[in-house]
Amino acid sequence: MSPVVRHWSASGFDAVETRGVVQSTPWHDHARLILGIVDGGRRRIAFRHATIDVIAGQGFVIAPGIAHRVLKDGPSDHRVLSVPPRFGAPAPASGLIVDECWATAFVLAFNSLAAGDLSAIRDLVAFAVSTLGRMPAPGPEPRSVRSVRHQLAAADVERPTLGRLATTTGLSPWHLQRLYLRHTGLSPHDADQANRLRMARDLVLAGAPLSVAALAAGFSDQSHFSRVFSQLMGLPPGRWAAQVQRAAQSSPRLTMVAVGSERNSAASWPSAQ
């Protein structure tokens, strides 16, 4: 069976369903809260100070702005909800959830989203907070780190190099790299790539052609954009955009797209046990 990845959106939330996917990602973060469950296999998620192994029936939470990467392992099935900032505030901390009640609560929230009911997602966020605690408040950042954050966020097509960023802060490239990594969990390069990917994603959602979105977000070409996007999202940007657009026009549970082919296939997903 070909690996399957399916994305859809509803009411400002994003959802992902996968089957049989083997994935590894570079270091990155999310602007949103990530709530997930593993339905089969195992998903290994590395944070800067710990790695969690999430097996079938267990959940995982990734707080906004927390650096992490997915480590390559065997095929896994998992589902994810991407929750907008400040929904169900306060946000939970990142970590592993082994409480067997998580599976029931997650499936209820996931299925309720398709019907436009957000109350179960609010309950799921509260569940995560009660289990993992609140996301820690960010500590103070050096002025140079704040400066680099602002420069990366404001950068246009010409992306700033590490050398240029170092010059603006008065630090050596080596010192800036270590300082930024210590305070954000990401290197300036990884942070910039995550920013560019979000920018390109928003442009594609707004209807921009892939080539235009890639160049506007500072990627060298459409091929570069597609490669980076596929690493993080599990499928090429064109197929992702088609899924999201189709889901907006019909029931989000009608079809999935097999990663290894352009063929649509019907599928049924696990329900709460």
What's the pLDDT score for residue 259? 44
3-state class (DSSP) for residue 55? strand
| CA pair distance 10, 109, nearest whole angstrom | 12
Q: Estimate the crossing angle of helix 101-114 against helix 119-132, to 10 degrees.
A: 150
Residues 6 or more apart from 200 whose CB is under 8 A from it? 213, 214, 216, 217, 219, 225, 229, 237
Task: Report helix, strand or coil for 47.
Answer: strand
Which pLDDT tens digits describe the chain residue by residue (273 residues)?
A: 688 888 888 888 999 999 998 889 999 999 999 999 999 999 999 999 999 999 999 999 999 999 999 999 989 999 999 999 888 778 999 999 999 999 999 999 999 988 888 999 999 999 999 999 999 988 899 999 999 999 998 877 678 899 999 999 999 999 999 999 999 999 999 999 988 898 888 888 888 888 898 888 888 888 888 888 888 888 888 888 888 777 666 654 433 344 443 333 333 333 333
Amino acid 269: pLDDT: 36
Q: Check residue 147 and give its pLDDT.
A: 94
Q: Where are the alpha helices (DSSP H) in the chain?
A: 101-114, 119-132, 143-154, 162-169, 173-184, 188-205, 210-216, 222-233, 237-249
Closest CA to 149 of 93, 202, 190, 197: 190
Supply the pLDDT for residue 2: 81
Domains of the chain: 4-137+254-265 (2.60.120.10), 143-233 (1.10.10.60)
pLDDT in tens, 210-262: 889 888 888 888 888 888 888 888 888 888 888 877 766 665 443 334 444 33
Q: What is the pTM of this model?
A: 0.86
Q: Report the chain's terminal Cα–Cα distance, integer Å.
A: 24
Q: From the CA atom positions of the chain, what is the Rg in Å? A: 19
Strands of the sheet containing 95-97, edge to edge, are 95-97, 59-62, 33-40, 77-83, 13-19, 4-10, 256-258, 264-265
**Percent of the chain residues past pLDDT 90, beyond the cut:** 53
CA distance 129 to 132: 5
Distance CA 110, CA 104 (A): 10
Average pLDDT of the chain to the nearest whole number: 86
